[in-house]
Amino acid sequence: MLHRQKPAELIVITQPTHAWIAGCLARAWGNEEFGSFAPTQEVCLGAEQHDIGWLLWENSPTLNPNTGYPHSFRELPTQVHIDIWSGAKQLALPFGRYVALLVSLHGTGIFERFTHWQQSPESAQIVQEFLKHEYAFQEKLKTSLENDPHYAQYATPEVIKRDRSLIAIWDWLSLALCHGLRSEQQFNQVPTASGDTTLTLTPANDHATEVKVAPWPFAQSEVTLVYEGRILREKFTDEKVMQAALADAECIAISTTLCPK
């Protein structure tokens, strides 16, 4: 769950909604400078479903007693994250092997990049066991895809690396947009047709309803994203009360338009 703080209220956005925005970015992505990606539909679906493991948790979000709000995804303990990501690959597999591979790679990539779990022996053991099982799953899928006449061309290390990097970038961009971009932000190592670059996103107004992007990575002259959040106007001390209030909370449609800078 993502938190978008307003002066008198909190807008909460689910992980699957954030992932859907990543999928929308994927479907709009690509031009002469930034190139394309393949297999196109599978990569777009992988971006859209990269947080599929959060579905069950989002149905019964837990209360953070320190804030009085549902936990944001950054506030949950390591074991909860591992439980979520351990189940993601099986939820993704019905969509196909390539989608499941990308979802699994995204999960392991998170723990490879953010290594605070190494500071605790207990967390380190949990994460290392998770990585061991995920790596084995990934190798099994890669072998299967390499031996498939259709997917062999997409199962090379170079193609998989590019697709994986793009999903990480779309995830990063979506997080920034869903949280409500308040100041200029840069995103490094964005794959292009010939290498990589740095994207700069600049909010054009205080409400982040329009965001300027440079260099421009999309095929169309502007991209409009519309997604939903739920409004919480009070804090809670009881988890069941919070869950009930969240289920009945007012919904709001949020619109963000991306334009070339």
Note whether 159 and 153 are within 8 A (CB). yes
For the stretch 143-168, pLDDT in tens is 999 999 999 999 999 999 999 999 99
Neighbours of 76 (CB within 10 A): 17
End-to-end CA distance of the chain: 30
* Cα distance between residue 49 and residue 102, in whole Å: 9
Which pLDDT score is estimated for 6? 86
Closest CA to 227 of 28, 9, 14, 3: 14
pLDDT of residue 8: 87
For the whole model, what pTM was predicted? 0.96
Percent of the chain with pLDDT over 70: 100
- Whether 89 contacts 141, CB under 8 Å: no
Residue 116 pLDDT class (50, 70, 90 cuts): confident
CB 53 within 8 A of CB 93: no
pLDDT at 105: 98
Return contacts of 88-96, CB within 8 angstroms, 24+ apart: 88/51, 88/52, 88/53, 89/134, 89/137, 91/52, 91/53, 91/55, 92/46, 92/49, 92/52, 95/45, 95/49, 96/42, 96/45
Mean pLDDT on 57-86: 96
Instruction: Indicate if the pLDDT at residue 110 is higher than 90.
Output: yes
Condensed to tens digits (0 to 9), the pLDDT of residues 216-251 reads 999 999 999 999 999 999 999 999 999 999 999 999
Angle value at C-alpha 46, between 44 and 48, nearest 5 degrees? 70
Please give the pLDDT value at position 12.
Answer: 98
Q: Is the per-residue pLDDT at 207 higher than 90?
A: no
- pLDDT tens-place string over residues 38-53: 999 999 999 999 999 9
Half-sphere exposure of residue 160: CA atoms within 13 angstroms, side-chain side: 24
- How far is 54 from 87, CA to CA, in rounded Å? 9
Q: For residue 100, what are its two tokens? A: 């499941």
Domain containing 131: what range?
2-260
Instruction: Output 6 or 55, whichever has higher pLDDT.
Output: 55
pLDDT of residue 82: 96
- For residues 141 and 115, the answer to whether their CB atoms sit within 8 Å is no
Residue 185, both tokens: 């932000």
Whether 138 and 105 have beta carbons less than 8 Å apart is answered as yes
In this model, does residue 90 exceed pLDDT 90?
A: yes
For 240, half-sphere exposure in the C-beta direction (CA atoms, 13 angstrom radius) is: 0
pLDDT confidence band for 7 (50 / 70 / 90): confident
Residue 245 has what pLDDT?
Answer: 97
Domain count, the chain: 1
- Amino acid 121 reads P
Using DSSP bridges, classify how beta strands 251-260 and 223-232 pair: parallel, antiparallel or unpaired: antiparallel
